[in-house]
């Protein structure tokens, strides 16, 4: 079925719809990963976004149950150059087209994804519509103007507290849209985890007497969760704290720093990051549209990691308050094991080693 991507700047890309045929509106972004489309689809950090994959053939190894990062697809739409309809992999349980149908998400294929990526790179992320019908200019404008992603965290967080048993350090975790592999990574280190909804108060977090507090990844602008930032402020210096991605940004805001939106974000599995503490360069997986402004970090906070593509902050440490956070995703295995030791550093901090 013929379909269009209509961008807010008026540019139209013509292609073919697949998956679940239903019009959608979202922020159009691109991801440069060659593999991992299943993890991208189910990553809650992509909530509210129409994701374009720059690698030309997607779906070639199918979809399996084990590699989901959440219970369902979280993107608003999915754009590929070519959707593979005959996947070949022993772990394949169903095709990409069927998976999108099951989750009621529309896909668009057959467009020039290189041209779209260049447009986003040059002009910045834009809102867009994937549709199979003709829309008037006024309809397009109304739909685009009506879209916002300010309530994203509330849409993807859990409803109830969950306890994951373990014999190691007890971690109280804020779920802002947490990926499953973060839980797996801490579980592999035998940590006990009590996972809280994003709306939980500092008092609720401390009520379980954790050894440390973890702030997860999640979607949207960190400044949209002002109430959470205020609760995190109450926890600074009380317990050791660590964070990934959105959690890292929330920690920075709680400590008095500022965040800003990137032109087109960092989304891919090939971003080089320098660990300033060791001098080692790591290949990292990233998915964020906002960064911490280095020059706004209060005195005493050390920048531990830097993105070598644009010199943005990728990690920070406040030794005095036992805080250590990372902008990229160490659980995503891009290197594939370059960043895995960061979880050991998190656990060491929870145990009281401020030099981790």
Structure tokens at 74: 């979280």
Q: Which of 27, 69, 314, 331 is catalytic?
A: 331
Q: Which of 248, 266, 288, 329 is catalytic?
A: 329
**Contact (Cβ atoms closer than 8 angstroms) between residue 20 and residue 103:** yes
Q: Which of 27, 245, 248, 271 is catalytic?
A: 245
Cis peptide bond prior to 336, omega within 30° of 0: yes
Structure tokens at 288: 């964020």
Closest of 176, 153, 175, 158 to residue 48, by C-alpha:
153
How many Cβ atoms sit within 10 Å of the Cβ of residue 209? 10
Angle at 10 between CA 8 and CA 16, to 5 degrees: 90
The dihedrals phi and psi of 82, each to the nearest 5 degrees, come to -140, 125
329 is a catalytic site residue: yes
245 is a catalytic site residue: yes
Query: Measured over all CA atoms, what is the biggest interatomic distance in the chain, rounded to whole angstroms?
Result: 61
Closest of 214, 197, 246 to residue 45, by C-alpha:
246
84 is a catalytic site residue: no
Catalytic residue positions, numbered = 245, 329, 331
């Amino acid at each position: 079925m013929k379909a269009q991507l209509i961008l807010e700047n008026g540019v139209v890309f013509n292609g073919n719809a697949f998956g679940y045929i239903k019009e959608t509106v979202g922020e159009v972004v691109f991801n440069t990963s060659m593999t991992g489309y299943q993890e991208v689809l189910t990553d809650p950090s992509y909530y509210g976004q129409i994701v374009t994959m720059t690698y030309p053939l997607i779906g070639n190894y199918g979809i399996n149950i084990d590699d989901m990062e959440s219970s369902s697809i979280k993107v608003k739409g999915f754009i590929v150059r070519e959707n593979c309809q005959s996947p070949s992999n022993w772990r394949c349980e169903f095709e990409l087209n069927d998976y999108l149908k099951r989750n009621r998400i529309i896909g668009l294929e057959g467009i020039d994804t290189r041209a779209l990526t260049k447009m986003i790179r040059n002009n910045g992320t834009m809102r867009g519509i994937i549709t199979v019908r003709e829309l008037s200019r006024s309809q397009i404008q109304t739909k685009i103007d009506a879209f916002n992603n300010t309530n994203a965290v509330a849409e993807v967080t859990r409803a109830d507290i969950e306890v994951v048993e373990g014999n190691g350090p007890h971690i109280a975790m804020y779920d802002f849209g947490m990926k499953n592999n973060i839980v797996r990574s801490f579980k592999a280190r035998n940590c006990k985890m009590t996972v809280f909804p994003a709306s939980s108060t500092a008092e609720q977090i401390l009520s379980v007497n954790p050894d440390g507090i973890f702030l997860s990844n999640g979607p949207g602008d960190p400044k949209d969760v002002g109430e959470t930032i205020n609760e995190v402020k109450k926890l600074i210096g009380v317990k050791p704290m660590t964070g990934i991605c959105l959690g890292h940004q929330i920690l920075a805001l709680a400590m008095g720093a500022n965040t800003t939106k990137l032109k087109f974000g960092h989304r891919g599995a090939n971003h080089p990051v320098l660990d300033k503490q060791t001098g080692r360069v790591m290949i990292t997986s990233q998915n964020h549209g906002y960064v911490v402004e280095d020059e706004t970090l209060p005195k005493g906070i050390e920048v531990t990691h830097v993105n070598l593509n644009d010199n943005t902050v990728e990690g920070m440490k406040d030794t005095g308050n036992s805080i250590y956070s990372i902008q990229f995703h160490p659980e995503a295995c891009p290197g594939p094991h370059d960043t895995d030791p960061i979880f050991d550093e998190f656990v060491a901090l929870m145990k009281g080693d401020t030099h981790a």
